[in-house]
Amino acid sequence: MEKPNIKKNDQIELNIEDLSYEGKGVAKVDDFTLFVDNALPGEVVKATILKVAKSYGFAKATEIIKKSPHRVETIDNVYTRTGIAPLSHLEYSEQLKFKQKQVEIDFKKAKLDIKVNPTLGMENPLHYRNKAQVPVRQVDGKLTTGFYRRHSHELVPMENYLIQDPEIDAEIVSVRDILRKYNVRGFDEVNFKGQIRTIMVRRAYYTGEMMVVLVSRVRDISHYKEISAEIMKNKDVKSVYLNINSKKTNVIMGNEMILLAGSPYIDDKLLGHTYRISPRSFYQVNPVQTQNLYQLAIDKAELNGSEKVVDAYSGIGTISLSLAENVKHVTGIEVIEDAVKDAQQNADINKIENADFIVGKTEAVLNDWAKDNRKMDVLMVDPPRKGLANSLIDSIKNLKPRKMVYISCNPATLARDLALLSDTYNIGEANPVDMFPMTNHIECVISLNLK
């Protein structure tokens, strides 16, 4: 492919042909591909070239010459600029089709002939997130909250985050103002100075309980008694933590977690059970769709009450406990020890006696099970983005659960794993579930039956 004669900062007119998996417009200059921010298929745009690499480049649309009928005009482009809601300029029904198509593309690449059903969307696809982690900086001499400009650590000040629970947005502003009152400084990443790096707020959807975590570069907690007392004046806030992160890193939280006020956890409900959530627990961010996703996964497992089930990558036990009443026994496997403690406690709180939880890597635990010839009827997997380890796929083929349900947050690794399992399993239809409206993230659930 010949590199065209274009360079950074050039202005150029482009025909947008497609949408990339990241939600960027795709245009061709001769055979060279450009990924264009804020551009939709069918549009003609004037664009500024941002970067030209060897085989592709990046640009941003500065003027829309011909508009897509699916463009949403009312949304402030701060959301696409910052990457908090990179698909918010695309009509919601088209977002759902885009996600279905992405799964189809990944399956095709892996030579899988699997039907992909329409994406299960939300009735109200805004303000769904139950958790926010917003960067904090010093802007014009004031501690300021917002979101990063795309591909940078430059803060764009913001008060309405579009996809977060509005109560969380209001709480961030309130905490910001309390910190300002006590002259606490926002983080200066360039000179590695200042104090507060991130504010994390979680709000339980069903109970309304909130947790606030202030992530600080330094351990100076001179005013924190007053600050946490003021934060606790909001009666919904049940828990305030200080987390110390003194490292030069993009990882948000450090190791030290200090409870400043209130309870160490908050409680939420899912499918009728109560869950205890600690500051570091993995907990699904879209409470409405989580219930739909879990119910779909449980339905696909076609349980009759007699099964031994393994719930791999079990987090705080939410899937295990949601299906426990429909099975003989369920064993959760999770690598984070604290999450397993939470899961055990959650089983006790909900008086569920046929569930146990093992700390360990799924691939290691099930390798041992395969060696010991231990049996299971149904295997649920809900791995992180990288999908299943190769060694786990080998163990599954030895253990031969008669049914598997795979919940995936990355269709590319899902397709790879399904292709590897397809000699042993018949693969059912895929159901994308929109857990992350306005973003390019895709969740998908699919069942596999032993041949």
Ligand X SMILES: C[S@@+](CC[C@H](N)C(=O)[O-])C[C@H]1O[C@@H](n2cnc3c(N)ncnc32)[C@H](O)[C@@H]1O
Q: In the complex, what is the shortest distance from the CB of residue 314 to ligand X, in angstroms, rounded to a whole number?
A: 5
Reply yes or no on whether 444 is catalytic: no
Give residues in contact with ligand X (CB under 6 A). Answer: 282, 284, 313-315, 318-319, 333-336, 339, 361-363, 382, 384, 409
Q: Given 50, 335, 409, 419, which residue is catalytic?
A: 409
Provide the minimum distance between the beta carbon of 325 and ligand X in the complex, in angstroms, as a whole number: 17
At residue 301, φ and ψ (nearest 5 deg) are -75, -15
Q: Is 382 annotated to bind ligand?
A: yes
Residue 143 or 392: which CB sits closer to ligand X?
392
- Encode the chain in three state secondary structure: CCCCCCCCCCEEEEECCEECCCCCEEEEECCEEEEEECCCCCCEEEEEEEEECCCEEEEEEEEEEECCCCECCCCCCHHHHHCCCCCCCECHHHHHHHHHHHHHHHHHHCCCCCCECCCECCCCCCCCECEEEEEEEEECCEEEEEEECCCCCCEEECCCCCCECHHHHHHHHHHHHHHHHCCCCEEECCCCECCEEEEEEEECCCCCCEEEEEEECCCCCCCHHHHHHHHCCCCCEEEEEEEECCCCCCCCCCCEEEEEEECCCEEEEECCEEEEECCCCCCCCCHHHHHHHHHHHHHHHCCCCCCEEEEECCCCCHHHHHHHHHCCEEEEEECCHHHHHHHHHHHHHCCCCCEEEEECCHHHHHHHHHHCCCCCCEEEECCCCCCCCHHHHHHHHHHCCCEEEEEECCHHHHHHHHHHHCCCEEECCEEEECCCCCCCCCEEEEEEEEC
Whichever of 258 and 409 has its CB closer to ligand X, that residue is 409
The residue of the chain with the least Cβ separation from ligand X equals: 315
Is 284 one of the annotated binding-site residues? Answer: yes
Q: Which is nearer to ligand X, 131 or 223 (CB)?
A: 131
Q: How far is the CB of 380 from ligand X (least distance, A)?
A: 8
Closer to ligand X by Cβ: residue 169 or 334: 334
- Residue indicated by tokens 């990924």: 35
**Torsion over CA: 213, 214, 216, 221 (sign):** negative
Integer CA distances (angstroms), 211 to 156, 167, 214, 262, 279, in order: 24, 12, 10, 9, 8
- Judged by beta carbon, residue 318 or residue 395, the one nearer ligand X is 318
Q: Is 334 annotated as a binding residue?
A: yes
Q: Nearest to residue 290, comparing CAs of 124, 164, 427, 130?
A: 130
Q: How far is the CB of 320 from ligand X (least distance, A)?
A: 8
Nearer to ligand X, 25 or 332 (CB): 332
Nearer to ligand X, 78 or 446 (CB): 446
Rounded to an integer, what is the distance from CA 293 to the centroid of its chain?
A: 14
Q: How far is the CB of 281 from ligand X (least distance, A)?
A: 8
Report in angstroms how near the CB of residue 312 gets to ligand X at its nearest: 6
The nearest distance, CB 332 to ligand X, in angstroms, is: 8
Give CA torsion, residues 295, 300, 306, 308, to 10 deg: -90
Using the minimum distance from each CB to ligand X, give the nearer residue, 261 or 339. 339
CB of 421 to ligand X, least distance (A): 17
- Residue numbers in the known binding site for S-adenosyl-L-methionine are 284, 313, 334, 382
Q: Which positions are annotated as active-site residues?
A: 409
- Residue numbers in the known binding site are 284, 313, 334, 382
